[in-house]
């Protein structure tokens, strides 16, 4: 796919995926073989910082379910970032 065609394609896919249900999105990702690698580290680290800041704020406001969701995000992101950083370190040693 050419660069121009790829850009156009992405402009079509992003709105669709944003509107799709999580279940269908997960199926699409499984079918297409999407992966998260060390290129995502800056974004993942940013999201981790954001979620860590939100937890005490949500707790102070009494938003139990939102706080739990942020805690789950922190719990999911922390090991994922660690594994990706370890993989990057191994690659750099080669």
The pLDDT tens digits for 16-70 are 888 888 888 888 888 888 778 888 899 999 999 999 999 999 999 999 999 999 9
In which band, very low, low, confident or very high, does the pLDDT at 4 lie, cut at 50, 70 and 90? confident
DSSP E strands, 7-63:
none
Residue with more model confidence, 3 or 38:
38
Please determine, for residue 2, whether its predicted confidence score (pLDDT) is greater than 90. no
pTM: 0.69
Token duo for residue 21: 């249900």
* Distances 33 to 5, 6, 42, 65 between C-alpha atoms, Å: 21, 18, 22, 32
């Amino acid at each position: 796919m050419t660069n121009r065609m790829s850009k156009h394609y992405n402009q079509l896919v992003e709105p669709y995926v944003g509107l799709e249900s999580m279940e269908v999105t997960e199926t699409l990702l499984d079918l297409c073989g999407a992966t998260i690698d060390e290129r995502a580290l800056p974004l993942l680290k940013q999201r981790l910082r954001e979620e860590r800041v939100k937890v005490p704020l949500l707790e102070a406001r009494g938003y139990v379910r939102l706080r739990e969701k942020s805690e789950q995000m922190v719990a999911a992101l922390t090991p994922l970032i660690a594994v990706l950083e370890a993989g990057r370190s191994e690659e750099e040693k080669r």
